[in-house]
Structure 1
Amino acid sequence: MILIRACEFLDLGIIKAQPNIFDNGPVDDINNAQRNFRLDGRGKDTEFSSQPARLTTSKISLAGMTCAACSTTISNAVSKLSGVERIAVSVPLSRATVVHHPSQTSLQDILSTIEDLGYGATAGERSAQQNLKVLEQREEIERLRSAFTNAAVVASAVSGLETVLWLHLPLVAVRMIRLVGAGLATWTQVSDAGVIHHAAWRRGLRGKLTMDSLVSLSLLLGMVLSVFNVLLFGLEEGKVYWSSLSLLTTVILGGRLLDTVLRKQSTLTFAGLYRLQEKSMFVKLVRSAAREVEGEQVVDAAALVPRDEIKIGSGVIIPCDCYVLRGETWVDQATMTGESRAVLKKPGDSLLAGTTNLSYEIVAVVSKPQEDSALESLIASISTATENSSPSKEVDTLISRFAAGILTLTVVCFLATLNARWSHVSPSLALNFACERAMAILASACPCALGLATPTAVIAGLDAAQQRGVIVKRGFETLQALSRLTHVVLDKTGTLTTGQLSVPDVQGRLDEMQRMLLCIAERDDAANHPVAGAVFRWAFAGLSEEKRRLVHEAKVCKTLNQAGNGVTCSTQLQPADEWQTVYAGNETFLQQNHILMPECTAKASAEPDSTLVHIAINNEYIGSLRLRDTIRPSAPAVISTLKHTHNLSLSMLTGDVSTEANRVAQHLQIPVLSSHALPTEKQTFVRALRARSSHNRVAMLGDGLNDAPALSAADVGIALNSTSARAGVAEATNAQTADVIFTSPELSRLPELLEIAEKTTRQAGWNLWWAVGYNLIAVGLAMGVAEPVVVVDAARAGTMMALSSVSVLGWSLWLRRDLSGISSKGAKRG
């Protein structure tokens, strides 16, 4: 009980929070990008077929799961249904995601299959409040605490009564005490252990054996044996197990209570994200894009649409991705990006859902609905990662057959013990010996420890990564791949350089109307591409508030983003205005669009240490912006750490000009794999690196749309700053192709992530070996291999069983503490 209260005392909130139809162009680009890339089973190098199979993805809310062994039982049963392509079960969220052919297997068929196993199943996903309730497990903890307390009181009372029997009491008193003890022990089985028996036999009658089945059989065997002895020898002489049964029930319930508390501790950070989601449900709407709004209105944040204007007060959680229209303020982005310092936000700057406005009231423009926000993306990614935490099919098979194997072993040992004792003692005594042995074996085995070994370690790793603003998709598989890397390929602009480009030089005079058109052309890529972001911020800062509002109200169509070269779009500022076409890109891009350029621009474009963006409106050249970038201050230390601490080979792969690529490469002392590389060329180079050796494990680190093909081709694709406000094609594509997403472009997170991956996979392996070894030793002792030195009865065996899963959870909580000590210091050791 002291240990349980200690764990509850540690229940400290990780995240503290306070309550609080514009165009078809980008959609078409997203569809085009997604036609080129999609995820297969491994998420690599698979193109969309022209006629994809009709598949349905169904979310199912589950009830009655206690551990990963239950997850395996559900997965195995559903995957055998015709038409089911894949099923992934999340133990922390009690949720299943099933990909299936609806023509072969309907959702109702899947629900019926799960219910036939003895679990609850409801179509659809839970709300944020319901998911938070599942993660916090308040009702389950309260129920287990009550049952554990009652069982402990009964066990103490029964033990006390049996102690009194040592005194020389009248026969009537002895019988009365025995009857009271039997009544209390029976009451404990009905009330406190009733849930275990009900779950065991509900599933057992359907031919499914679980840990509950083993525990229930052990308890019922003790009850039946006690009644048998009383009927055979009488109340005063018959050997009974009321005290042992009560103590075993107490130990099992106590172990489950501690197990539940520890599992709650392991998901505190995840639960904190749902608290943010819950506390940002309402917002002040100032101006609606869909209808006229007179005065401020408090509305449900889920009803917001792009172009809505909202007011965000001090201390309020930002409800959806947006950008500042009016005002300045400091924003705490730690929950989303891992940045410890507040960031000053000005007009034109993006705001992420889930971050907190610290200082002043601002007005912002909604860029994406809440369901597509950065916070929702983060929660969805971590949720998906918890569904893929199983280490291997071999472990799944072991878990699914564990209960049947233990039951078979119990029968064999029962018969062997009965046979060995039969010729030396009376038949009734031999039967007691055999039953005691069976009770001990049934009570000692715990498949939950095997099922928890990898998922608990993975959740610790995911939490540690998320606290640093890193989303790891595909859970254990991605962490394992990260721990085995041999080569890292890095993009230059926005990755090795700051990506915060400034505009020190402008050729030509751009009036306010031209700046506004330039903002419209760059608005969808501004959050994802450093060049687009710099151009957008420069142009937006020179607009009046009225013109800024027109930027997000303007109608846009025929948007074309040519990755690595430029962007063009057609826009209509107001319904009565003529359509205008804007071009922004490099010299090659404008020439491809048949735009005449002054001769002096060719020489200017060739100058090193800068990027030139040429601008044309309605096929007329109007000027250019010179952008300058700097190498990230942390880049040299990170490169040194990757080389010397992690022993990785490094290469730079960029679409920038060779002079700038060589300048950065020489400063950082890494080779240039290729410069001026197009997206498809980047993909080819990464594939070639992987093909050099069967031992090569290649990661690609990039931040733009032009890096998406290379991300899909790598063993591990790592996208920087992909979860941002006003994200467009780059986010949609990189979210499909990347295995890891950095929500902030902080390069020092990479060595931290590699260390997290190495420690997590090592701990997962240790947990698994520990669980297997522990179960073998526990079952062996229960079988009597160490007698008479070590004698294990049912109560002691139950204690060992409870400590099995508790010890695995303890190791994983220790891992959480160890991972919390990882910091960017790791990037400075080199």
Structure 2
Amino acid sequence: MFSSSVHYWLEFYVGAYHALKRGYSNMDVLVALGTNAAYFYSVYIIVKALTSDTFEGQDLFETSSMLVSFILLGKYLEVVAKGKTSDALSKLTELAPETAVLLTLEKDGSVISEVEISTQLLQRNDFIKIVPGEKVPVDGVVIKGQSHVNESMITGEARPIAKKPGDKVIGGTVNDNGFIIVKATHVGSETALSQIVQLVEAAQLARAPVQRLADKISRFFVPTVVVAAFLTWLGWFIPGQLHLYPQQWIPKAMDSFELALQFGISVLVVACPCALGLATPTAVMVATGKGASLGVLIKGGNALEKAHKIKTIIFDKTGTLTKGKPSVVQTKTFSKIPLLELCDLTASAEANSEHPLSKAIVEYTKKLREQYGSPSDHMMDSKDFEVHPGAGVSANVEGKLVLVGNKRLMQEFEAPMSSEVEEYMSEMEDLARTCVLVAIDRVICGALAVSDPLKPEAGRVISHLSSMGITSIMVTGDNWATAKSIAKQVGISTVFAEIDPVGKAEKTQGLAVAMVGDGVNDSPALAAADVGMAIGAGTDVAIEAADIVLMKSSLVDVITAIDLSRKTLAKIRLNYVWALGYNVLGMPIAAGVLFPFTGIRLPPWLAGACMAASSVSVVCSSLLLQLYKKPLHVEDVPIPAGPGDGGSNLV
């Protein structure tokens, strides 16, 4: 016990030494001065009592130990605040199962063998069997089977999410009721669980800019306190020596020097800015941990502080305001060619393209073939496939030149556009749909209208942001007609369309601007904005460039991030009031202002208790952020009706 006490005692002296060596003072300097003054005065009392038969004095050894005890109590409470967040993170890391069933598959998908191995041995592209009730070991994609997966521990979404082939699953979530085979895409430190833990830990270690205020206050405050303590000692010692106040004021077994010294030590101790040092980090720790539990990953105190200043938010369209999953919602033929044949030629030309529009058309054709009783995976032979950036594709399908794209592609190949085609395109753009024209041998034979539905919460979120005093802007690479239609539906008045990635980044220049996006083309703007918010379902590049990651891919969490930031900064300011309030009220009492009138004085050990109380108040104030609740929930958001409520997928 003795060695442990010495160890804690030495920490303050080492901290004070390093601070003075660098030319500034901190909390450790005050602690060292206060404990040293009490201790060495007590040694003086003992020595004098041993060498004099008539001397009576009161030692202050207990004062030194009490001071250190109360200061360590404050530090313990800080650790408790950290621990509550760390416990939550530990529980997250423990969600992943220890073992997984690894499958070996034939080319046709049949199982050759299965073996149970440690989750840590899994690699990318491994196939894993997951039965009902089991946890998903790593991030992956379902390749076989259907089920519902409970993702509440990761995303906060209470309802199980339906999963089918092609859908992503997150490591640590629970497979509720179906058998699925998953192909591993992210393992080890790359999984969502590991990324959450790493981001939150990094956020807690980073110092928020507002912490600099506390550092500046401490640098000036400590020397001021030392001077105040010295003046307090002089203010009591000199009048005592000159007998300017009644001798009965001096307690029994004390002299004027000892009384003055106790007042001086009490000033040193009660003014110790321990709570000031706790005000910011404890609030940031609790807030980032709470944000992570709500599906909002905040990368450090800097992002947390900047978010509360946001006055303008720039939204990308595709995958941000819209769902990012386009589908064919209407078709139109301008010739006698049958619809199925038209779609077959179109899908065959688009089969080699990775564009979301192409995938939507191919998927639509497969469903159409099923309705007609034809093989859904049949495709005609295509040759000379060519991508025309920003316009569409062209290919030779069974001897026919097939053009699939927009008006510009038709003009490039000199395919004449009739008034009927022009009218249909205009109609679709008014409905916020992308009109994909199909020409065969340079004759426009039909069109497919593709819609990317709006997220149901988009309009409500924009309205709520407006009530918070935040202006919303939409920036997209899509055409003006579609962009304006989408903006009108969600209530955004300022729109910038046909903007490239560099242009998006330029639009973020200004005061207190946030960017919300999900794609690779959004990453320059996410990095350039004061606060970049990446949709969790977006690309890794976008997530890496952002300051805040919205894990649930819900726009509601844009509001959550800003509101949590505002609540946290308000809490930090309240913490400063608690921290400095004790000093402002305690220092005059410790200096003995009330003693001549009431006989009340603050002994050094009691001053230490008051100083510890300020730390307790600050930590408890920060822990109240654990009770934070979202200002807006998905359940509050009405789902819009009508298939036309959507936009194109061009970015």
Deviation at 1:627, TM superposition (A): 3.3
- Aligned to 2:344, which of 499, 509, 518? 509
Deviation at 1:798, TM superposition (A): 0.9
Where does residue 643 of structure 2 map in the other structure?
Answer: none
1:701-780 aligned within 5 A? 701-722=516-537, 730-732=539-541, 734-780=542-588
Where does residue 125 of structure 2 map in the other structure?
Answer: 307
Separation in 2, partners of 1:409, 1:669: 59
Where 2:314 maps in the other structure, the secondary structure is strand
Separation in 2, partners of 1:224, 1:647: 59
- The one-letter code matched in structure 2 to 1:715 is D
- Aligned to 1:824, which of 633, 641, 645? 633
Deviation at 1:808, TM superposition (A): 1.0
Let me know the Cα RMSD of the aligned residues. Answer: 4.5
Deviations 1:204-256 (CA, angstroms, capped at 9, x unpaired): 45556654554455345434433432332359954233555565555444444
Where 2:453 maps in the other structure, the secondary structure is coil
Separation in 2, partners of 1:249, 1:358: 53
Separation in 1, partners of 2:403, 2:261: 83
Deviation at 1:392, TM superposition (A): 5.0
1:182-201 aligned within 5 A? 190=2, 193-201=5-13
Paired residues of 1:656 and 1:675 also in contact (CA < 8 A): yes
- The one-letter code matched in structure 1 to 2:565 is A
Where does residue 80 of structure 2 map in the other structure?
Answer: 261
Where 1:485 maps in the other structure, the secondary structure is coil
1:114-513 aligned within 5 A? 190=2, 193-204=5-16, 206=18, 207=20, 211-212=27-28, 214-215=30-31, 217-233=33-49, 237-241=56-60, 244=63, 247-248=66-67, 250-276=69-95, 279-280=96-97, 282-287=99-104, 295-386=113-204, 387-399=206-218, 406-407=225-226, 409-424=228-243, 429-475=255-301, 477-504=302-329, 507-509=342-344
Where does residue 799 of structure 1 map in the other structure?
Answer: 609
Paired residues of 1:200 and 1:210 also in contact (CA < 8 A): no
Separation in 2, partners of 1:613, 1:347: 27
- From the superposition, tell whether residues 658 and 251 of structure 1 become closer, same or farther in structure 2 (CA, over 3 Å): closer
Where 1:810 maps in the other structure, the secondary structure is helix
Where does residue 814 of structure 1 map in the other structure?
Answer: 624
Deviations 1:40-92 (CA, angstroms, capped at 9, x unpaired): xxxxxxxxxxxxxxxxxxxxxxxxxxxxxxxxxxxxxxxxxxxxxxxxxxxxx
Deviation at 1:820, TM superposition (A): 2.5
Separation in 2, partners of 1:221, 1:541: 86
Deviations 1:373-406 (CA, angstroms, capped at 9, x unpaired): 3223323332332213241534323335655654
Paired residues of 1:215 and 1:443 also in contact (CA < 8 A): yes
TM-score by length of 2: 0.74
Separation in 2, partners of 1:567, 1:357: 41
Instruction: Return 5+ residue gaps in structure 1 as ranges.
Output: 1-187, 523-529, 543-558, 569-582, 691-695, 724-729
Where does residue 56 of structure 1 map in the other structure?
Answer: none
Where does residue 785 of structure 1 map in the other structure?
Answer: 593
Paired residues of 1:454 and 1:764 also in contact (CA < 8 A): yes
- From the superposition, tell whether residues 501 and 828 of structure 1 become closer, same or farther in structure 2 (CA, over 3 Å): closer
Where 1:767 maps in the other structure, the secondary structure is helix
- The one-letter code matched in structure 2 to 1:806 is V
After the TM superposition, which of the residue ranges 436-445 and 200-209 deviates more from structure 2? 200-209
- Aligned to 1:681, which of 493, 500, 503? 503
Deviations 1:149-181 (CA, angstroms, capped at 9, x unpaired): xxxxxxxxxxxxxxxxxxxxxxxxxxxxxxxxx
- The one-letter code matched in structure 2 to 1:808 is V
Separation in 1, partners of 2:367, 2:138: 23
Paired residues of 2:15 and 2:28 also in contact (CA < 8 A): no
Where does residue 641 of structure 1 map in the other structure?
Answer: 464
Paired residues of 1:390 and 1:454 also in contact (CA < 8 A): no
Deviations 1:728-760 (CA, angstroms, capped at 9, x unpaired): xx421x134322221223122223333222222
- From the superposition, tell whether residues 345 and 763 of structure 1 become closer, same or farther in structure 2 (CA, over 3 Å): same
- The one-letter code matched in structure 2 to 1:702 is G
Deviation at 1:197, TM superposition (A): 1.0
Separation in 2, partners of 1:775, 1:509: 79
Separation in 2, partners of 1:560, 1:795: 80
1:557-596 aligned within 5 A? 586-587=405-406
Separation in 1, partners of 2:156, 2:279: 28
Deviation at 1:591, TM superposition (A): 8.2
Separation in 1, partners of 2:161, 2:416: 41
Deviation at 1:567, TM superposition (A): 10
Deviation at 1:343, TM superposition (A): 0.4
Deviation at 1:323, TM superposition (A): 0.4
Separation in 2, partners of 1:414, 1:721: 61
Paired residues of 2:82 and 2:286 also in contact (CA < 8 A): no
TM-score by length of 1: 0.60
- From the superposition, tell whether residues 701 and 245 of structure 1 become closer, same or farther in structure 2 (CA, over 3 Å): closer
Deviation at 1:368, TM superposition (A): 2.9
Where 1:629 maps in the other structure, the secondary structure is strand
Instruction: Return 5+ residue gaps in structure 2 as ranges.
Output: 332-339, 369-385, 395-401, 639-651
- From the superposition, tell whether residues 635 and 194 of structure 1 become closer, same or farther in structure 2 (CA, over 3 Å): same
Where 1:762 maps in the other structure, the secondary structure is helix
Separation in 2, partners of 1:639, 1:772: 39
- From the superposition, tell whether residues 199 and 709 of structure 1 become closer, same or farther in structure 2 (CA, over 3 Å): closer
The size of the alignment, in residue pairs, is: 575
Separation in 1, partners of 2:404, 2:531: 30
After the TM superposition, which of the residue ranges 808-817 and 626-635 deviates more from structure 2? 626-635
Paired residues of 1:722 and 1:741 also in contact (CA < 8 A): no
- From the superposition, tell whether residues 822 and 325 of structure 1 become closer, same or farther in structure 2 (CA, over 3 Å): same
